[in-house]
Amino acid sequence: MAILPIAVFGDNVLKQKTKSVQEFDDQLIIDIKNMFETMRNADGLGLAANQVGLNKSMFVMDLQSIEGYEKSKPMVLINPEIILESEETKIIEEGCLSLPALRAEVERPKIIKVRYMDTDENIQEMEADDLFARVILHEYDHLIGKMIPDRVNSEIKKLLKENLKKIEKRELEIDYPITNK
């Protein structure tokens, strides 16, 4: 398996909506394994396919390293669709592998329901709350071309501007491979 370079703020691939996965073949499994390896190498909780240059509507996630989620299983969500969001929201600080060294308070629904396909092409539905829901929503955002700066108010966006420029220009020290400019 391979550790892939992660796209960072400014890379066009992060602004594009991904395409639905149609082929459930050996290449898909290789892509998924590479994504898990890349995510774990960067100490991430989730990784969307377009973050590693794959135009596929899927993401991987693994929350086992988080207290309270040790028994959760690593997951792959293919062609996910958010079908329900609670009106109750929660604001929590988020980070992103495509926004290294940047953190911001993001408001998201506390509870969601997601429909997706698993690697056996079975349609699944799952309800998620708190951190579990947040990671799903964060990664789903990547698949529709959105990132943290798209989810915060203009005041916070202004505060992030300087760091976003540094990320875009690759002026930060990052301990995992990222794409070239």
Q: Which residues of 38-50 are buried (b: 16+ CB within 10 A; e: fewer)?
A: bbeebebbbbbbb
CA angle 131, 136, 51 (to 5 degrees): 120
Residue 46 near residue 60 (C-beta atoms within 8 A): yes
173: tokens are 């020290």
What residues act catalytically? Answer: 139
Task: Specify the DSSP class assigned to residue 155.
Answer: H
